[in-house]
Amino acid sequence: MYLEDIVKALNLRVVSGEERLTAEVLGGYVGDLLSDVMANSKEGDLWITRQTHQNIVAVASLKDHAGIILIQGCNPAADTLDKARKEGVPIMVTDMPGFEAIGKVYNMIATKKGPDPST
Amino acid sequence: MKAFRCDLHIHTCLSPCAELDMYPRAILQKAREEKLNVIGICDHNSSENVASVQKAAAGHPLTVFPGMEVSSREEVHTLALFDNISRLQHFQKLIYDNLPGENDENFFGCQAIVNESDEVEGLNQHLLIGATSLSLQEIIDHIHRLGGLAIASHIDRESFSVIGQLGFIDPTFAFDALEVTPRLGLAKARETFPDLGNYPFITSSDAHFLRDIGKTYTEMWMAEGSFQELRLALRGEAGRHIIGGT
């Protein structure tokens, strides 16, 4: 699953990191507490949050996330956007509430991976 | 100069999560029993009991700094301490202008405004447990514009701390000090946060209950219990400094 597929399917508004939409999405993580996201998210995750502080860019870079989706129409703060553009971190905005956005992203990733062979 | 025992973070019965027994005279009595020299009154997003505590402390050697524990848009708590109450009142107006919601004491608790004789004069209607719409950066800037000190609250706590909410402390954040809880303590603060060596550390009780006052304190080497001396001690200037804490 590639980031651009998710952007297209969910009609996300890309505000930074357009050049990295070809990145592969390996999984997802949801959280607004950055300490938690730093501790528990993984490389290649698509991170879904409503935290707009500029530290989200540092966390996404540090953890090599595929990108960040801001839900509920939350726009990144001006310094967040500057930093994300400079560092090429894809930030995508949607008006969807978190529950809906997360459900849709999960379904796309789960479908793509196919049924769990162990079941 | 001498050592002053300082606890810069004490709530009153105005904070919805504090016990109602946190009246001015009860706080001061416990502070004296615990041999504190300097206290800071910091309720959540409000300062309406500060003057009462100061009045109740008149004539006693204890210094009471006017303050507030303000919650930013990112739900980061910061202590704002000021030289005098009029600066704090400017800050208060700004905070109320940016604090949405109304308190429901059945859910969040009572927010009692009391006078210096511990009598209830009213109930604060603002949603003090909530967060302001101001960013952490804006809050620090406003505190400094008003000549105050901005201290990051309980940075070792998972909830409502700058590290818990924002992952790490960006060196561009001009905090005047970082507070750690008594659970971590000052001695361990530096080894726990080796990257934050440029900031002064303090520890405070964050007392919401009378029994917690005196649980910890920070000792400062100062000429007197004044705001200017506190600023010098935090900066380690002019012979003033933080001696240590519990």
- Contacts with B158 from chain A: Cβ below 8 Å: 33, 35
Instruction: Determine the distance in angstroms separating the CA of A33 from the nearest CA of chain B, rounded to an integer.
Output: 5
Using the predicted structure, report yes or no on whether residue A88 has a pLDDT greater than 90. yes
Q: Which value, to the nearest 10 degrees, does the dihedral of the CA atoms of residues B67, B72, B76, B77 take?
A: 10
pLDDT for the residue numbered A118 = 53
pLDDT above 90: percentage of residues in chain A: 81
What one-character DSSP code corresponds to residue A89? Answer: -
A59 touches chain B (CB under 8 A): yes
Nearest CA in chain A to B168: A35
Using the predicted structure, report yes or no on whether residue A115 has a pLDDT greater than 70. no
pLDDT for the residue numbered A117 = 53
Tokens, residue A43? 């490389």
At B5-28, the pLDDT tens digits run 999 999 999 999 999 999 999 999
pLDDT for the residue numbered A35 = 85
At B78-113, the pLDDT tens digits run 999 999 999 999 999 999 999 999 998 888 899 999
Using the predicted structure, report yes or no on whether residue A114 has a pLDDT greater than 60. no
Nearest CA in chain A to B135: A53
Length of chain A: 119
- The 3-state secondary structure of B115-159, one letter per residue: CCCCCEEEECCECCCCCCCCCHHHHHHHHHHCCCEEEECCCCCCC
User: Mean of the pLDDT values across residues A4-18?
Assistant: 97
Q: How far apart are CA B100 and CA A99, in angstroms?
A: 24
Give the mutation candidate from A32, A35, A56 for the B interface (greatest B CB count, under 10 A).
Answer: A35
- Contacts with B164 from chain A: Cβ below 8 Å: 33, 35
Using the predicted structure, report yes or no on whether residue B206 has a pLDDT greater than 60. yes
pLDDT for the residue numbered B117 = 96
Residue B215's contacts (CB-CB under 8 Å, 6 or more residues apart) are: B182, B205, B207, B246
Q: Which value, to the nearest 10 degrees, does the dihedral of the CA atoms of residues B24, B25, B30, B35 take?
A: 100
User: Can you give the pTM of this predicted structure?
Assistant: 0.88
Average pLDDT, whole number, for chain B?
96
ipTM, interface predicted TM-score of the complex = 0.71
CB nearest to A38's CB, from B74, B135, B167:
B167
pLDDT for the residue numbered A111 = 80
At A28-83, the pLDDT tens digits run 999 998 888 998 999 999 999 999 988 899 999 999 999 999 999 999 989 899 99
pLDDT for the residue numbered A116 = 52
Using the predicted structure, report yes or no on whether residue B66 has a pLDDT greater than 80. yes
pLDDT for the residue numbered B172 = 83
Element (H, E) at A13: strand A13-16
At B110-162, the pLDDT tens digits run 999 999 999 999 999 999 999 999 999 999 999 999 999 999 999 999 889 99
The distance from CA B185 to its chain's CA centroid, rounded to whole angstroms, is 17
Tokens, residue B192? 């726990």
CB nearest to B74's CB, from A35, A37, A53:
A53
Closest CA to B46 of B129, B155, B162: B129
